[in-house]
Amino acid sequence: MLTSQQIGFLILGAMTLGAAILVVRVHQVFHATLSMILSFLGVAGLYVLLGVSFMAGLQLFIYIGGVSVLTVVALMVTRGGMDGQVRIANESVGAAIITLAMFAGLTWLILQVPWPITPLVPAPADDVVFLGETLVAIDAYAIPFELASLLLFVVLIGALYIARER
């Protein structure tokens, strides 16, 4: 018998995968973008189900708030180049065979291992505090955290430089 969490997982998983299939199969690029947002939303729901609600919030901020807007802007700028249409390339049958084989192989590999059924410990009640303490502790991840901010700064300048009007 399925528990309520398993039913929630199946609904969210079907939403994520269905929207992802629409992203790669739908013929309008803008519809693909909307499906991508739905897929990101499903992933955020899966994070809530896993008990990491802060990651779900980050997913909403970064992907639905940031990456989707960037994609829509790029789509608007480059509109007309493909007449708004996605034409699937001739190699799509080969790509389907490769990816189906890869999925079958991965699934077989996953089912070889007796994975645990339940999480190891209950989810931390206040995962923002937990993550914050981890990220700025000097004996944990303080240096990668600062490097990440440097990377984002360099990317900001680099993206402006690449996309500027010449």
Partner 1 sequence: MVPLSWYLILAAALFCIGLYGVLSHRNLVVILMSLELMLNAININLIAFSRYLEPGQRTGMVFALFVYVVAAAEAALGLALVIAIWRNRDTVAVEEIDTLKG
Query: Applying CB under 8 A, which of residues 3, 125, 138, 139 lies at the interface with partner 1?
Result: 3
- Report d(CA 140, CA 121) in Å as an integer: 21
Q: Which of residues 73-102 bind partner 1 (CB under 8 A)?
A: 73-75, 77-78, 81-82, 86-89, 91-92, 94-96, 98-100, 102
Q: Which residue, among 128, 119, 127, 130, has the nearest Cα to 5 in the 3D structure?
A: 119
Q: Which of residues 46-75 bind partner 1 (CB under 8 A)?
A: 46-47, 49-52, 55, 58, 62-63, 66-67, 70-71, 73-75
Our finding on whether 21 is near partner 1 (CB under 8 A) is yes
- Report d(CA 114, CA 76) in Å as an integer: 48
Our finding on whether 139 is near partner 1 (CB under 8 A) is no
Using DSSP, state whether 28 is helix, strand or coil: strand
To the nearest whole angstrom, how small is the minimum distance from the Cβ of residue 107 to partner 1? 6
To the nearest whole angstrom, how small is the minimum distance from the Cβ of residue 137 to partner 1? 10
The residues, any chain, with a CB within 8 Å of residue 108's CB and separated by 6 or more, are none
